[in-house]
Every structure is written in structure tokens, then in C-alpha cells.
A = this chain, B = another copy of it.
């Protein structure tokens, strides 16, 4: 199948590579040329414009945020202009449900088909074709792109025939992860302040809180290893903002998201923009009068001496 692939960042590049390896005809586009040229050596064709990549049976967009998707889709020589009638746009970027609804409407007007299929997984999962893909859109189109998706992920969950619902699920998932970070941040601040080693706390609680995000973030926070960032703080704020905006669109208060927003803003205000999003644990600790997590001794232990 001829597949356009737009957006070759640290997620998009390994994903496009997997499509090449699955013997698809892959036409790539990226704002900066280097990543595209690297893939050309592995068999990809280079598109001059997004429209050229979009002129395929399926075009995948894997970009940074709403704004970049808007530019690539609605702009001059953009996806909307390039797609044929009957072509399928699979937007795999984490975008707002509201933009997803606008994209669905704009494509429908031109007899193009729109599917939202955001993913869970880090770059290494993308490289191993082990993403979890949440998809929503017209059933027929979903059937057609199934082999494409199979080359990218280990499971494709179809959640609805309305594309924006897939974006909502992705946003909900990231929000739940952020809630885990906040919860851990609060209990570790409490245990440190009481003179109890967070490692002992987690040794016990890890028996119950077995989901992978707990494991990852408990150790990141306890060790205070917020650099290098696995997922940068401003991206965390972006995701919480998407949750809050969805809450506003559907008139749903999300008080946990409001707490998270305040902590992400505080972390940015304190200059932690380059750190991992779990660095909000530093804000939580400092609000308790503690130093940032990860030092060798805890507050109370020091006081006791």
C-alpha cells in the first residue's frame, strides 16, 4: 500500500521505518530534511510538500501538537489539498478532540476519510512496533488500515466510530498517568517529612500498585532523576491542558486536572522546563518545606541527628 508519513520525530521516524520494513510504499515528509533523508536510504520516497505525501491511499500524521497539525493539514500544499477523494488520513498525534472534530468535518467535505489513532508508548516501543494504538473512525476505513496499524503496534483498540473519541481516550490515559505522578509525589513528600525513607514506603506499596507507570515514576521521583527528561514538563502541561479543554468542551469539572495544572505551572515558574514531567514532585516537596527529591538524606533524618 502507498502510505504517506508526515512527522519524523523521535516517534514518527521508527514508526515510518516499521512501515518500510513491512514492505509498504512509504512517502515521507518532515519539516527539516535530515530525518527524511535518513529514511530515504532505507527505501522511503521523499515528498516535497505534505500534499505530496498525502496523495496516497493512507496518510499518517505524527506531529507535536494541535498547532503543527493545523499547519500541515490546512496550510498551503497541505494534507487537505493533497488527498484524493476516498483517501484516508490517520492522525496519530495527541491532539484535542475539538481539532479532531474539525478535521473530520473538513475531510468529509472533500469526500476524504479521517481516522484518529493516537498511541501509547515511548520511542523504544515505537521502534519495536509495540505501541498501543487507540483508534476511532468509520468502521470500513478502520478495516482498511488494520494491516498498516498492525505494523506499528501490538494492539489496536477501536473505541468508537467518531474519531475525536480516540483522542479523548489518549488524553484520559495521559491524565491518569499524571495523577499517578502527583499521588506518588504527595506520599513521598509526606514520608520524607516524617523521617521515613520513601524506598521503604515503595517496597511495601509496590505490591499493590503494580501498573508500569507506578514503577517508572516511583523510582524517578525517589531518586530525583528528572534529567534527562523522558517526557518534558511542558508536554505534561500540554496534555493536562488538553484534558481541561475537553472538560470545558463537554462541561465536566476535573478537579484533579486543575491541581496538576497548578503544579506544572509552578514547576515552569521555578525554571524546570527542561525536566521530566515527574519533576512536579519537586514542587510538592518544596511546598512542604523540603529540598527537591533525590538527596541522600531526608529532612527529618537530618533533624534527628
Contact = CB atoms under 8 A, between A and B. Distances in A.
A201 B134 CA distance: 9
A231 interface: no
A241 B245 CA distance: 11
A94 to B, nearest CB: 14
A168 interface: yes
A256 B262 CA distance: 10
A33 B255 CA distance: 44
Given A210-B210, A250-B193, A270 B289 contact: yes
A184 to B, nearest CB: 8
A190 B204 CA distance: 33
Contacts of A251: 193, 265-266, 268-269, 288-289
Contacts of A210: 210-212
A7 to B, nearest CB: 22
A227 interface: no
B200 A159 contact: yes
**Size bracket, chain A contacts:** 35 or more
A197 to B, nearest CB: 8
Contacts of A208: 120, 132, 173, 176-177, 211-213
B212 A173 contact: no
Contacts of A105: none
Nearest to A199: B159
A52 interface: no
A195 B162 contact: yes
A196 interface: yes
Contact of A248 (B246, B258, B265): B265
B253 A256 contact: no
A113 interface: no
A262 B259 CA distance: 11
Contact of A186 (B189, B195, B257, B286): B257
A85 B184 CA distance: 40
B266 A288 contact: yes
Contacts of A270: 289
A68 to B, nearest CB: 19
B160 A196 contact: yes
Interface of A: 97, 120, 132, 134, 155, 157, 159-160, 162, 164-165, 168-169, 172-173, 175-177, 179-180, 182-184, 186-187, 189-191, 193-197, 200-201, 203-205, 207-214, 241, 243, 246-259, 261-263, 265-266, 268-271, 283-284, 286-290, 300
Q: Which 3 A-B pairs have the closest CB atoms?
A: A269-B289, A253-B262, A258-B258
Given A159-B203, A251-B266, A262-B287, 13 more contacts: A120-B207, A132-B204, A165-B195, A172-B191, A173-B205, A176-B205, A186-B254, A190-B246, A190-B250, A190-B252, A193-B252, A194-B250, A251-B289
